[in-house]
Amino acid sequence: MPEQTVRWIGDLDGRMELIDQTLLPLEFKFITMNTIEEVWEAIKVLRVRGAPAIGVAAAMGMVVGIQKASDDEKEVADRAIRAAEYLATSRPTAVNLFWALDRMKRCVEQYRGKGGRAIKAALLAEAKAIRDEDAAMCRRIGDNGQHLITEGCGVLTHCNAGSLATAEYGTALAPMYRAHERGRKFRVYADETRPLLQGARLTMWELQQAGIDCTLICDNMAAVVMRQGKVNLVIVGADRIAANGDTANKIGTYGVAVLAKHHGVPFYVAAPSSTFDLKIGSGAEIPIEERGGDEVTRGFGRQTAPTGAKTYCPAFDVTPAELIAGIITERGLIERPDRERIASVVGV
């Protein structure tokens, strides 16, 4: 399993590094983020991706943004707030991005009056805390979901909600890692996840590293493997969960949930409390990112559609709560999620 996806080396004079996921599975490489523009670009083009990892990157990106400021308090505070506003424009769907930036902004306010140096130190400590807390939450998600991965079962996942998508250890993959650590044998089917192939490039790579039995399928094969009885449950991650349990995740997730319902396969979502957006009532309010048509017509450099082909490219979809058997959080498993059950677990 890969080490920390996003990391800070050293103190305030140190540096931010992240695994460049666009190079995987062929090359495993950490790159240094020298400027806030580089952090924004890394989020935008998915060098770092996955809701919790984006949150960690944004928090550390704010530190990059104030690192070279003088110790004048007003300058540090102004630059920090501008950095937060700028990073918030990188991607719209994963709420962890905004959750982390809000936490960092609150930190600025808390330290106003104590001097620029104190604000800088507090922001670095907060960014490191966001990272460490995410790593701990992921392990608890693993604990709370591992019982679902029974001996000999088949589990299907979509996109990558593993170690690479978080600080470390993953959300949807965490119960699989925990079950594997306990010696349980099971099979994973990984949807390749068009158009950017996070399942093929990243989930397959991670699970192979961990020594877990995994089989790559094209997205359009999920129905067949379910019909053949090879899949006993589905676990996916989430980018934003509304107060009623409607869940945004990588495009194609909704289709998998509909297939699972038809085949009587329980469909689970795994996510930390930082992925819930209780301010919005339903999935209809979740902003869905649209990406460039090139990712579909010219994926990975080769043209696969006629020049000028019209495209429609939402990067995420919303699975209605009624299709979700349970949401595995670090605070416990929310079965048959609805407004009340969600509020009682993550609303406090």
Active site members:
239
Q: Is 161 in the site for ligand MRU (CB under 6 A)?
A: yes
DSSP character at residue 157? E
Instruction: Name the one range near ligand MRU by CB under 6 A: 32-40, 63-71, 161-169, 306-314.
Output: 161-169
- State the first-to-last Cα distance of the chain, in angstroms, to the nearest integer: 33
Closest distance to ligand MRU from the beta carbon of 291 (Å): 8
Which stretches of 211-325 are DSSP H helices? 222-227, 253-262, 294-297
Q: Which is nearer to ligand MRU, 76 or 141 (CB)?
A: 141
Q: Is 50 in the site for ligand MRU (CB under 6 A)?
A: yes
Closest distance to ligand MRU from the beta carbon of 53 (Å): 7
Tokens of residue 292, six digits: 């460039």
Instruction: Name the one range near ligand MRU by CB under 6 A: 4-12, 47-55, 102-110, 203-211.
Output: 47-55
In three-state secondary structure terms, 195 is coil
Tokens of residue 204, six digits: 């397959």
Which of 40, 47, 52, 124 touches ligand MRU (CB under 6 A)? 52
In three-state secondary structure terms, 199 is helix
Which of 6, 56, 59, 94 touches ligand MRU (CB under 6 A)? 94
For the segment 286-345, give every residue that binds ligand MRU (CB under 6 A): 315
Closest distance to ligand MRU from the beta carbon of 66 (Å): 26
Q: Is 90 in the site for ligand MRU (CB under 6 A)?
A: no
Q: Which is nearer to ligand MRU, 278 or 288 (CB)?
A: 288
Closest distance to ligand MRU from the beta carbon of 21 (Å): 8
Instruction: Name the one range near ligand MRU by CB under 6 A: 45-53, 55-63, 110-118, 277-285.
Output: 45-53
Torsion of CA 290, 280, 191, 51, to 10 degrees: 80
Q: Is 49 in the site for ligand MRU (CB under 6 A)?
A: yes
Phi, psi of 227 (to 5 degrees): -60, -35
In three-state secondary structure terms, 201 is helix
Q: Is 252 in the site for ligand MRU (CB under 6 A)?
A: no
**Residue 292 one-letter amino acid:** G
Q: Is 166 in the site for ligand MRU (CB under 6 A)?
A: yes
- Residue 6 parent element (H or E): strand 6-9
Instruction: Name the one range near ligand MRU by CB under 6 A: 147-155, 159-167, 203-211, 212-220.
Output: 159-167
Residues 6+ away with beta carbon under 8 Å from 156: 188, 189, 190, 191, 222, 225, 226, 231, 233, 234, 235, 256, 265
Total chain residues near ligand MRU (CB under 6 A): 18
Residue 340: is it exposed, middle or buried by C-beta count within 10 angstroms (0-12/13-18/19+)?
exposed
Q: Is 274 in the site for ligand MRU (CB under 6 A)?
A: no
Which of 146, 249, 274, 329 touches ligand MRU (CB under 6 A)? 249
DSSP character at residue 194? T
Beta bridge partners of 318: 248
Closest distance to ligand MRU from the beta carbon of 52 (Å): 5
Q: Is 159 in the site for ligand MRU (CB under 6 A)?
A: yes
For Cα atoms 231, 150, 5, give the angle at the middle one, nearest 5 degrees: 85
Closest distance to ligand MRU from the beta carbon of 312 (Å): 16
Which stretches of 88-164 are DSSP H helices? 95-111, 116-145
In three-state secondary structure terms, 326 is strand
Q: Which residues bind ligand MRU (CB under 6 A)?
A: 46, 49-52, 94, 159, 161, 165-166, 171, 198, 237-239, 249-250, 315
